[in-house]
């Protein structure tokens, strides 16, 4: 019987009255997660036991079976990687064994766009006999880690995953958290799970082969988290922008560690690691970024799109009186000093009815959150608040100002 009928027909009321009270047994339990995020140097050097010790954390007496998956972008720049791995496994053969030949996995956003890749990754995990007590080690950028993370989380309902992130963004954000996912139905990260890794090992040596834009991209996430959570860190980025722009090793290392620490703090201490609520502070600047990545078919990489997304939201915050224009100026300056471009022609694109395509990103974002719209906006350098309504005309003004390069203080 349709529910509207059931609600109104007297017959249904009599039946409902006659129904016994439901018996409810509440299933309630907690699962705690604990994983290390380790910073080290030259992880496959046989003098460095960090990896083998990490693999032995759970079952120290056992010889651990491991399948290595490598981002092709990393493998191309580090051709000696497989040889180093083989030597490492030989050297520690009492403790670890290779489950099969290392697998090369396409890197970059296209890896997340190709749903066939998931099937191939699952096949590698299955054929090499990885079970819930053996390991997948994924070496790569954020996109490859997201794709492999999903395959590992769904194989046998979750096999152990050790991530070795190889980009700035992966080491300070994408690779250290609890999410994975691939793109589907034209939307970023539509298909994915929450699945904390077994461990994360950040080796700064990998960063040396990054292209200039991939060096810079991850710095956007550091500006993001500094801007909403840590004014002192923001000041530090401002003071060290030159060193960061020339990829000074010590400066980059500090930036990554502090950024990773702030992300981990949000995940572990803010009470919503699996994002069941609607507030998503770590997604500051991301509603626009995700849309821009799609609109430009990834010509804009994630980090570059996040930088522009933060400019949009910060400008909007200033126009609504939330953020002082002086603070906005500092945000724009720091992003520019790091080498980000703060405008892209994609912002101009409109649909047949003349609406800006970008603005649809707000709807996509709300759908992704579920429930009400929640956008994080900075209110000072170092703090932010959630807003639930975006004024279309003020947003239009912010975008128009960006297009014309309107001065801030007038």
Ligand X SMILES: NC(=O)c1ccc[n+]([C@@H]2O[C@H](COP(=O)([O-])OP(=O)(O)OC[C@H]3O[C@@H](n4cnc5c(N)ncnc54)[C@H](O)[C@@H]3O)[C@@H](O)[C@H]2O)c1
By CB under 6 A, tell whether 339 contacts ligand X.
Answer: no
Closest approach of Cβ 301 to ligand X, in Å?
A: 6
Closest approach of Cβ 285 to ligand X, in Å?
A: 12
H/E element holding 64?
Answer: strand 64-71
Phi, psi at 131, each rounded to 5°: -115, -170
CA distance 198 to 36: 8
Identify the CA nearest to 221 among candidates 251, 180, 262, 265.
262
Binding mask 209-248 for ligand X (x = CB under 6 A): xx---x--x-------------------------------
Pairing, β 64-71 against β 383-387: unpaired
Record the tokens describing residue 318, joined without a space: 């200033």
| Residues near ligand X (CB under 6 A), total | 32
Closest approach of Cβ 18 to ligand X, in Å?
A: 51
Q: Which is nearer to ligand X, 206 or 316 (CB)?
A: 206
For the chain, what is the radius of gyration of the CA atoms? 24
* DSSP 8-class letter at 179: B
Closest approach of Cβ 167 to ligand X, in Å?
A: 3
193 in Cβ contact with 153 (< 8 Å) = yes
Binding mask 23-62 for ligand X (x = CB under 6 A): ----------------------------------------
Of residues 183-202, which lie at the interface with ligand X (CB under 6 A)?
Answer: 188
Phi-psi region of 63 (alpha: psi -120 to 50; beta: other; left: phi over 0): beta
Of residues 57-96, which lie at the interface with ligand X (CB under 6 A)?
Answer: 71-74, 77
Q: Which residue in the set 35, 50, 108, 365 belongs to the binding site for ligand X (CB under 6 A)?
A: 108
Q: What is the CA 306 to chain-centroid distance, rounded?
A: 11
Site residues (vs ligand X, CB under 6 A): 71-74, 77, 107-109, 112, 140-144, 146, 166-167, 169-170, 173-174, 177, 179-180, 188, 206, 209-210, 214, 217, 302-303
């Amino acid at each position: 019987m349709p529910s509207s009928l059931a609600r109104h027909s007297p017959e249904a009321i009599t039946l409902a009255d006659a129904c016994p009270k439901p018996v409810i047994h509440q299933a309630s339990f907690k699962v705690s997660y604990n994983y290390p995020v380790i910073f080290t140097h030259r992880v496959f050097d046989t003098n460095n036991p960090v990896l083998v010790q990490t693999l032995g954390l759970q079952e120290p007496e056992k010889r651990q079976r491991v399948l290595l998956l490598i981002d092709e972008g990393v493998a191309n720049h580090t051709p000696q990687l497989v040889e180093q791995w083989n030597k490492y496994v030989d050297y520690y053969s009492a403790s670890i064994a290779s489950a099969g030949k290392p697998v090369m996995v396409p890197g970059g956003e296209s890896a997340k766009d190709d749903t066939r890749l998931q099937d191939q990754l699952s096949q590698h995990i299955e054929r090499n006999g990885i079970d819930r007590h053996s390991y997948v080690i994924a070496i790569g950028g954020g996109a490859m880690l997201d794709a492999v993370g999903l395959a590992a989380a769904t194989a046998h309902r979750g096999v152990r995953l050790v991530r070795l992130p190889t980009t700035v963004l992966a080491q300070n954000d994408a690779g250290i958290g609890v999410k994975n996912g691939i793109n589907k139905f034209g939307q970023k990260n539509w298909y994915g799970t929450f699945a904390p890794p077994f461990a994360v090992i950040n080796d700064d040596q990998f960063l040396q082969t990054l292209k200039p834009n991939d060096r810079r991209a991850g710095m956007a996430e550091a500006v993001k988290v500094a801007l909403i959570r840590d004014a002192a860190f923001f000041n530090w980025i401002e003071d060290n922008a030159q060193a960061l722009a020339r990829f000074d090793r010590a400066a980059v290392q500090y930036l990554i560690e502090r950024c990773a620490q702030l992300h981990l703090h949000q995940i572990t201490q803010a009470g919503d690691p699996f994002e069941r609520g609607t507030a998503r502070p770590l997604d500051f600047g991301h509603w626009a970024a995700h849309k821009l990545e799609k609109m430009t078919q990834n010509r804009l990489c994630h980090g570059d799109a996040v930088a522009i997304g933060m400019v949009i939201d910060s400008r909007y915050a200033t126009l609504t009186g939330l953020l002082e224009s002086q603070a906005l100026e500092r945000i724009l300056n720091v992003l520019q000093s790091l080498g980000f471009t703060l405008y892209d022609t994609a912002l101009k694109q409109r649909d047949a009815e003349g609406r800006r395509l970008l603005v649809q990103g707000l709807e996509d974002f709300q759908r992704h959150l579920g429930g009400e719209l929640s956008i994080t906006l900075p209110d000072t350098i170092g703090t932010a608040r959630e807003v639930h309504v975006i004024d279309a005309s003020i947003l239009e003004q912010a975008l128009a100002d960006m297009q014309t390069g309107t001065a801030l203080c007038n």
